[in-house]
């Protein structure tokens, strides 16, 4: 039982969005009912973004119709991290996120960052020196606020999964994703020419 109430409670229990598929659905063949209606049921991915919806209908005698519309997926409280595409070992960075308020009232709440070893799912906040804890934010209606944490990227961790969470009253949001960690070691290839003629014996020393 993880408390998410009050300014001292952990936000670990906040459900995080993790399905960021770029295609929500694709149905290459749909049939109408007796009234000519097509009912489409699908679960939309969890990215907070704008989507393009396109439809095409054809008949056996090659008559066709089409449409194109847009829709937006959003929440009253949204936290969107400004995460890098990759980390590098021993990096010292400031991990930032934007908290947006789409309600008609001012929001005051908390945000928190969690870090995990992506291969084992074990928390590595101490290893990453993620000691910033819970951040307090205030966002006016229709406005956003920024929160940030200072972290360091350890060695010998191939990928890090982050989770950011925000809560204000009954409104919550979270996002989690895996970021690869690049190491600072380089593969060096050295070569030694070894010319030799037929019926010849030579000794080569490769330091």
Q: Transcribe 111-124 into DSSP letters.
A: EEEEEEETTT--B-
pTM, entire model:
0.77
C-alpha separations of 111 from 59, 78, 79, 87, 166 in Å? 53, 11, 9, 22, 4
Tens digit of pLDDT at every position of the chain (207 positions): 334 443 347 899 999 999 999 999 999 999 889 998 998 888 999 999 999 999 999 989 999 999 999 999 999 999 999 999 999 999 999 999 999 999 999 999 999 999 999 999 999 999 999 998 999 999 999 999 999 999 999 999 999 999 999 999 999 999 999 999 998 887 888 888 888 988 889 898 888
């Amino acid at each position: 039982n993880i408390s998410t109430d009050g300014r001292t409670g952990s936000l670990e229990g906040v459900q995080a969005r993790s399905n960021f598929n770029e295609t929500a659905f694709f149905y290459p063949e749909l049939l109408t009912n007796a009234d000519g209606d097509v009912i489409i049921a699908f679960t939309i991915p969890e990215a907070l973004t704008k989507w393009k919806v396109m439809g095409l209908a054809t008949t056996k005698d090659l008559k066709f119709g089409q449409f194109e519309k847009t829709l937006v997926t959003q929440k009253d409280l949204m936290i969107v991290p400004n995460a890098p595409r990759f980390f590098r070992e021993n990096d010292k960075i400031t991990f930032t996120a934007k908290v947006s308020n789409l309600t008609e009232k001012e929001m005051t709440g908390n945000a928190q960052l969690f870090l995990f070893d992506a291969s084992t799912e074990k928390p590595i906040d101490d290893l990453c020196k993620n000691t910033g804890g819970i951040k307090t934010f205030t966002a006016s209606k229709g406005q956003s606020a920024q929160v940030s944490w200072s972290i360091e990227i350890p060695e010998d961790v191939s990928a890090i999964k982050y989770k950011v969470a925000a809560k204000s009253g009954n409104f919550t949001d979270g996002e989690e994703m895996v970021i690869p960690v690049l190491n600072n070691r380089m593969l060096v290839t050295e070569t030694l020419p070894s010319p030799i003629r037929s019926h010849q014996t030579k000794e080569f020393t490769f330091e």
